[in-house]
């Protein structure tokens, strides 16, 4: 039996969410500019992850993947604790930068173990994984608010997450992790084969196309939230409370959609569900063309959250199906596309500057269009997941 590896997704969103939620307090405490705050909290973890994660995951593929997964969680706990203690913005940036790849390695290996433990349930398990991440997203603001009531701040919230992470990693170290490859070498010593393994994996065109699809899933996530908030505040002059309610409607729609996805996967073939969800999400995204009130935006973004919910978990399951039994290599291959994911917010922001927020939001429909097209190509091979 696979232990609740979905908790890795939960903790991943929880630790990264705390500094984002309380970014104003971090900015004020350290006297940072908006740009430097965004660099420390959002960009640094991604940049170092793009450099380190692929190499560590190649080592994990060669041997002792469980050791790397648990080690990643322990390293994450230490990095989060260091961030909580950080007396200067530079130490905070270093801690968050180290937390990024540590979390990325742990997530890649845990996610792979979860879906490979029972390949016939890949889509179902990925939906559980995504739902756990959504609950982690919810924990972050709840935890920050809770410690705030007690007169404490983001440092306490980070320490709570760090402590829970450490305990979870120690518990996980005593469990068998089905689905993680044992590798062919000991301790990943045969480094020369790692790049060759990665090149061979990237020759799989089906895998590469699905990785392109999952990379596009960054569009209807934080990018959508940021642009929608700007649309409400700047274009429609909505109060802060209304903006918060609208973004809450998106999160609620996504949660309902994930729960519905688990049920639908028992009755509908995964790739057919991906096609239907892609069409529905594209139509929901077109609502930006005619919504000119906060109420219309709230309804539209709820519909986007609801219809986009199946896209990421089902598409990610197709990535694993394209290269079965090699989760660590898949994690390394994903890092090839990390620069694109890092650049997407800047590209979309530049598009918004040029054509306006409304049309930039419509452009986010590229995600369901790409994934729906990929699913159409594989429609005949799709079966329901029982």
In angstroms, the Cα distances linking 64 to 69, 184, 277, 323, 334 are 9, 9, 38, 20, 20
Torsions phi, psi for 179 (to 5 deg)? 100, -20
CB 327 within 8 A of CB 109: yes
Q: Which residues does the chain have with pLDDT short of 70?
A: 1-3, 34-35, 177-194, 378-386
Dist. CA 181–CA 57, nearest whole Å: 11
382 three-state secondary structure: coil
158-188 as b/e: b if 16+ CB within 10 A: bbbbbebbbebbeebeeeebebbbebebeeb
What confidence score (pLDDT) does residue 180 get? 56
241-254 as b/e: b if 16+ CB within 10 A: ebbeebbebbbebb
Dist. CA 93–CA 7, nearest whole Å: 25
What confidence score (pLDDT) does residue 80 get? 95
What confidence score (pLDDT) does residue 357 get? 84
- Which residue in this structure is represented by tokens 């790049």? 195
CA torsion 352→357→359→365, rounded to 10°? 90
In angstroms, the Cα distances linking 68 to 8, 48, 82 are 14, 17, 20
CB neighbours of residue 290 within 10 Å: 9
Helix (H) or strand (E) holding 327: helix 327-334
Contacts of 91-99 with CB under 8 Å at 24 or more apart are 92/26, 92/30, 92/40, 93/39, 93/40, 93/44, 96/19, 96/40, 96/41, 96/44, 96/45, 97/44, 97/45, 97/47, 97/48, 98/48, 99/15, 99/16, 99/45
Domains of the chain, earliest start first: 6-191 (1.20.1250.20), 208-381 (1.20.1250.20)
Strand ranges for the chain from DSSP E: none
Q: Note the pLDDT tens digit of each residue in 12-33.
A: 988 888 887 777 788 888 887 7
CA nearest 65: which of 100, 108, 96, 27? 108
Dist. CA 140–CA 22, nearest whole Å: 9
199: CB partners within 8 A, 6+ apart: none
Rounded to a whole number of angstroms, the distance between the first and last alpha carbons of the chain is: 18
What confidence score (pLDDT) does residue 185 get? 46
Torsions phi, psi for 80 (to 5 deg)? -65, -40
What confidence score (pLDDT) does residue 299 get? 93
Dist. CA 266–CA 180, nearest whole Å: 26
Dist. CA 137–CA 291, nearest whole Å: 27
Torsions phi, psi for 159 (to 5 deg)? -65, -40
In angstroms, the Cα distances linking 248 to 132, 253, 255 are 17, 9, 11
What confidence score (pLDDT) does residue 369 get? 94
């Amino acid at each position: 039996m696979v232990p609740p590896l979905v908790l890795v997704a939960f903790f991943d969103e929880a630790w990264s969410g705390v500094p984002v939620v309380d970014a104003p307090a971090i900015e004020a405490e350290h006297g940072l500019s908006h740009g430097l705050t965004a660099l420390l909290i959002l960009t640094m973890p991604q940049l170092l992850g793009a450099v380190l994660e692929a190499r560590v995951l190649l080592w994990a593929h060669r041997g002792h993947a469980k050791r790397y997964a648990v080690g990643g969680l322990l390293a994450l706990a230490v990095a989060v604790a260091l961030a909580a203690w950080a007396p200067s913005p530079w130490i905070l940036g270093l801690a968050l930068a180290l937390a990024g790849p540590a979390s990325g390695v742990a997530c890649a290996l845990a996610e792979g173990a979860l879906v490979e433990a029972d390949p016939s349930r890949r889509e179902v398990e990925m939906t559980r994984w995504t739902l756990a991440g959504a609950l982690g997203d919810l924990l972050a603001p709840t935890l920050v608010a809770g410690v705030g009531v007690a007169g404490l701040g983001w440092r306490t919230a980070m320490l709570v997450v760090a402590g829970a992470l450490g305990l979870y990693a120690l518990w996980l170290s005593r469990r068998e992790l089905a689905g993680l490859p044992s590798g062919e070498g000991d301790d990943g010593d045969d480094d020369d084969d790692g790049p060759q393994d990665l090149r061979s994996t990237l020759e799989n065109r089906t895998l590469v196309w699905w990785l392109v699809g999952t990379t596009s899933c960054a569009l209807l996530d934080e990018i959508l939230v940021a642009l929608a908030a700007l649309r409400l505040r700047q274009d429609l002059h909505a109060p802060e409370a209304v903006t918060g309610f609208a973004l809450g409607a998106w999160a609620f729609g996504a949660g309902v959609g994930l729960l519905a996805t688990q049920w639908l996967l028992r009755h509908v073939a995964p790739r057919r569900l991906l096609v239907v969800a892609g069409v529905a999400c594209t139509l929901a995204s077109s609502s930006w063309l005619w919504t000119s009130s906060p109420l219309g935006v709230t309804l539209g973004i709820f519909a986007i959250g609801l219809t986009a919910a199946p896209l990421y978990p089902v598409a990610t399951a197709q990535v694993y199906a394209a290269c079965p039994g090699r989760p660590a290599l898949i994690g390394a291959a994903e890092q090839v596309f990390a620069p694109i994911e890092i650049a997407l917010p800047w590209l979309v922001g530049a598009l918004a500057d040029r054509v306006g927020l409304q049309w930039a939001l419509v452009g986010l429909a590229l995600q369901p269009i790409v994934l729906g097209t990929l699913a159409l190509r594989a429609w005949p091979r799709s079966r329901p997941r029982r």
